[in-house]
Chain A
Amino acid sequence: MKIIKLLNNTTTNPTKQENSPNVSISLDKYNQDLSKKIDKFTQLYQNPKDIDVGGTEHQIIKETNIYRLLHYKPIFKKPIKTPLLVVYALINKSYILDLQGDKSWIRNLLFQGFDVYLIDWKPPTLNDKYINFDDYVNCFIDDCVNLIINECYVDKLTLHGYCMGATMSVMYTTLNQRKIKNLVTLAPVIDTSKDLTVIGNFGRTMDVDRIIDSVGNMHPQLLRTCFSALKPFKQGMNKYFTLLEHIDDKKFVENFLRIEKWLYDVPPITGEVFKQWIKDIYQNNLLAKNKLKLGSKVIDLSKIYIPVLNIVADEDHLVSPEGSVALNNLVSSIDKRLMRFPTGHVGLIASSYSQLNVLPRVGKWLFSRSDV
C-alpha cells in the first residue's frame, strides 16, 4: 500500500505535469504498453510451453536408480585423450551446464576438443534416504571413474565438479588420487567458517536431525524456501520486471524460461547426505579441519598433490567465495591455480560472460595439463 501511495505521490505531481504536457503523454503511453506487456506475461505463465534444455548430443552409458552417466559426442574425430568427468551437484538439475547452445558449459568444452562425461544425479526416493556421502563418493563416483578409465584405455581422468559436486570431487580426489590427473572445481563449499551467506546462516542454526527424522529426505519445498531468501528483491523480484520489459524479445523470453525452469526444478536430497552436509560441513566445518569421515576414511585435503584449478565467482551469494578460495591453501599441490571472476553462482557457468571470459581460460589451463 505504501509503495502505491509513494508512486501516486510522485506520478501525480501537478506542477510538473502542467509545465510539461509531453511528460504525461509519455507516461500514459508507457502505462498502455505496460498493461499490454502484463497481459502477455500472464498468458506466458498461464500457458507454459515445453522448455527444451540439455540439447547437446549425448549417449547414456550407464543408468542406475541414483544416476545416469552421460557421454557427450565429441566434436572432433580425435578429442583430447584425457577424459573429463563432470560431477554435478545434488541441488537442482545438471542441465544448467547445457542450458542452451550459446550458453552451454559442456558444448564449449567439446568445442575446445575435450572428451566430456557427466554424472546426472536422479532424484532420490524415500527408499534412498540412508544413502550418504560415502556412497556418493566411494560408490557412485568411483563406479563412473572406473568405467570411463576402462572405456577410454587411460590411467587417469580430469575430475571437474560444480558447487556441491565440486566438494564431492575434492573428497573423491583425496581418496583416489591415482585415478585423477587434474582436479577442476567450480564454486566448491570448503571452509564454512568463512561463509557469510544466508544459506550458511540457516545451515548453522538448523536442527537438521529433527527435520530429517520427520521428513526422511530434504523436501524440495523446504529447499526452495531457503533459496528464496537469497537476493529476494534484486533477483527474486527484479527479474520479472526485466522480463516484462523484454516480453516481445522471443530469445530473451526463452532464455528466461529455461533458467526459471531450472530454478524451480529442485529434487529432494537424501536425508543422510543432508545431515552430513549441514552438521559436518556447515556446523562443524570438518572438511576444512581435515576431520570429515566418509565411512572409515578421513578426508585429508593436504593429501592432494595433483594439479588443482579452483574457479570462484566473486558475487556468489549461494557459496561464499572466501569459503571456496580456502581450497588452494589446504591442498599440497605445487601446481595450483585460483581464478576469480566478477560474476554470480549461475553466471559463472551459464552465461555469455562465462563463454567469453571463464571457459577459454579454463580450457587453456586444462589443455596444457591433459594428454593430447
Chain B
Amino acid sequence: MIDMVSFHENSTIPFEEVLKKYQEFWEKFYNVPKFSPFSLTEETSNLVKNLQDLLLITSKIQYFNLNYVTQINKTYTEALDKIPHNKTEYSIQSEQDLKKYRSFILGTLEESFTNLFQSKEFGVLVSDLMGAYSEYNKLLRNISKTYLLPLNLSSKDDVDILLKDIQELKREVRDLRKSIDIIMSEDNKIVK
C-alpha cells in the first residue's frame, strides 16, 4: 500500500501516475480467462475488482484530503507569521488592548483564508475532493446493486427513471391545464 503522506512529500512521481500503475497491475489479474477450467475465478475476480476500486477511490480521497489540510495549515502558519510577537509591540494592559489584539489576529487570519478560498487552485481542490466523495458513494451504490440483484429489488437507476417520468408527466399536465384555461377564458369572452 502506498503511503500517501510520504508520497505527497515525494513530488517527483505524480499521483495520477501511481494510480495508473496500480490499475495496470490489477488489470492483469482481471484479464485471466473466465471459461472452464478458470470459471471459479470469476466470482473472486468480481470481489477483488470491487475492493480494488474502493481502495483506489479511498486513496484519492486521502490524497485530496491531505492536500486540503496542507493548504489550510500552510495558510494558518503563514497568517500567524504576519502577527508580530515582539513583547514591546503588544503589551496587553487592559480589556481594550486584549480586544484590539484579538481583532488584529482575526483580521490577519481572515485576510489569508479569504485569499486562499478565492483562489482558483483551492476551488479546483474542493471540487476534486467533493468529486472523490461522489465517486465513493457511486461505487458503494454499484456494489450494493450487485449483491441485491438476487433479491429482485428495484435499483436506484430503475427508481430514477420512474421519478423522472413522473416529473415529466406533471409538467405535461400543468401545460395542458394552462392551455385549457386559456381556451375556456377565450370561450367565455365569446359567449359574453
Taking a contact as CB atoms under 8 Å apart, the answer to whether B171 and A134 are in contact is yes
Residues of A within 8 A of B98 (CB): 27, 30
Does A130 reach chain B (CB closer than 8 Å)?
yes
Could you tell me the distance in whole angstroms from the C-beta of A258 to the nearest C-beta in chain B? 24
Closest-by-CB residue of A relative to B111 is A233
Does B7 reach chain A (CB closer than 8 Å)?
no
Q: How far is the CA of A264 from the CA of B171 in the complex (A)?
A: 33
Does A252 reach chain B (CB closer than 8 Å)?
no
For B, the interface residue count at a CB cutoff of 8 angstroms equals: 46
Per-position 1/0 for A1-40, Cβ under 8 A of B = 0110111011101001000100100110010000000000
Contact residues, A230-263 vs B (CB, 8 A): 231-234, 237-238, 241
Residues of A within 8 A of B31 (CB): none
Given contacts A23-B94, A201-B123, A202-B126, contact A211 B117 (CB under 8 A): no
Q: How far is the CA of A131 from the CA of B174 in the complex (A)?
A: 13
Does B176 reach chain A (CB closer than 8 Å)?
no
6 more A-B residue pairs beyond the given contacts A10-B101, A196-B118, with a C-beta to C-beta distance below 8 A:
A5-B85, A10-B91, A13-B91, A13-B92, A23-B93, A238-B106
Taking a contact as CB atoms under 8 Å apart, the answer to whether B135 and A6 are in contact is no
Taking a contact as CB atoms under 8 Å apart, the answer to whether A198 and B118 are in contact is yes
Q: Could you jot down 6 A-B contacts, CB within 8 Å?
A: A10-B87, A26-B95, A138-B174, A207-B127, A211-B131, A233-B113
Interface positions of B (Cβ within 8 A of A)? 77, 80, 83, 85, 87, 90-95, 98, 101-103, 105-107, 109-110, 113-114, 117-120, 122-124, 126-127, 130-131, 133-135, 137-138, 141, 163-164, 166-167, 170-171, 174
* Pick from B92, B131, B170, B171: contact of A207, CB under 8 Å: B131
Could you tell me the distance in whole angstroms from the C-beta of A74 to the nearest C-beta in chain B? 29
Q: How far is the CA of A241 from the CA of B137 in the complex (A)?
A: 38
* Pick from A131, A198, A204, A241: contact of B117, CB under 8 Å: A198
For A, the interface residue count at a CB cutoff of 8 angstroms equals: 46
Does A147 reach chain B (CB closer than 8 Å)?
no
Does A129 reach chain B (CB closer than 8 Å)?
yes
Q: How far is the CA of A140 from the CA of B6 in the complex (A)?
A: 54
Taking a contact as CB atoms under 8 Å apart, the answer to whether A295 and B171 are in contact is yes
Q: How far is the CA of A201 from the CA of B120 in the complex (A)?
A: 7
